[in-house]
Amino acid sequence: MVYIKSENEIDLMREPCKIVKDTLAFIGSKIQAGMSTKEVDELVERYIRASGAYPSCLGYGGFPASACISVNETVVHGIPSEDILLKEGDIVSVDLCAYKNGYHGDACRTFKIGKVSEELEKLVQVTEECFFKGIEGLKAGTPLYDIGYRVQKHAESHGYGVIRSYTGHGIGKEMHEDPSVPNYGRAGTGMRLKAGTVICVEPMIAQGNWRVKILPDGWTAVTVDGKCAAHYENTLVVREDGVEILTL
């Protein structure tokens, strides 16, 4: 069931969403070659807690960290580790959530470590573009799968694969709520979105094959061909005449 949020609920979501936005900006200013993904996770946790919120990912379904930190071919749900050291030329997706006021905020950015190849520069740029393409024209009454159609069209026009195993989602009192928001689909299909629907749109785009495999830890999803992937996400509210992005 899709829970339509009242204006009061949306106002309560603004603070955790701003904390997510600010945490990602803080991480972007600190992340660098030589750091372990565990160190990045510790920065995330400290910042979120210092902001008076709780890192929603910590303990979610048994996840052992405060952020999903996914390097290069890892698409999503990378578990932070002291043994994974960032190096010049890597790309790393930091996906995090904050819980405050009884509600969650959620966003992800893919950061570039030092100077990256032209191929990875393009991948990160196109993945961000996919988010904004996906929400073009989005407003109350838009069919849900129009989002994924636009994401897929833009990604595939650049020769990239669109991850299908993981999707965006509704968000509110729970970190994951209905509806599921896929990054692929047929235009004009799916439920008509209503004003007050709060969703996370999060393109996950691969250089090559869209298929993934899960590592033995039960969480880490990597591309089957070992090529890199990028991830860009925001929490937004569907309005009568457009959208309001809460994490930008």
Q: Given this model, what pLDDT does residue 184 score?
A: 98
Domain 7-245 has CATH 3.30.70.260: no
Q: Where are the domains of the chain?
A: 7-245
Could you read off the pLDDT of 9-22 as tens digits, one per residue? 999 999 999 999 99
Summary mean pLDDT of the chain:
98
Q: Given this model, what pLDDT does residue 147 score?
A: 98
Could you read off the pLDDT of 68-124 as tens digits, one per residue? 999 999 999 999 999 999 999 999 999 999 999 999 999 999 999 999 999 999 999
226/166 Cα distance (integer angstroms)? 18
Output the six-digit token pair for 93.
């997706």
Could you read off the pLDDT of 223-242 as tens digits, one per residue? 999 999 999 999 999 999 99
Cα end-to-end span (Å), the chain: 27
Output the six-digit token pair for 176.
């994951």
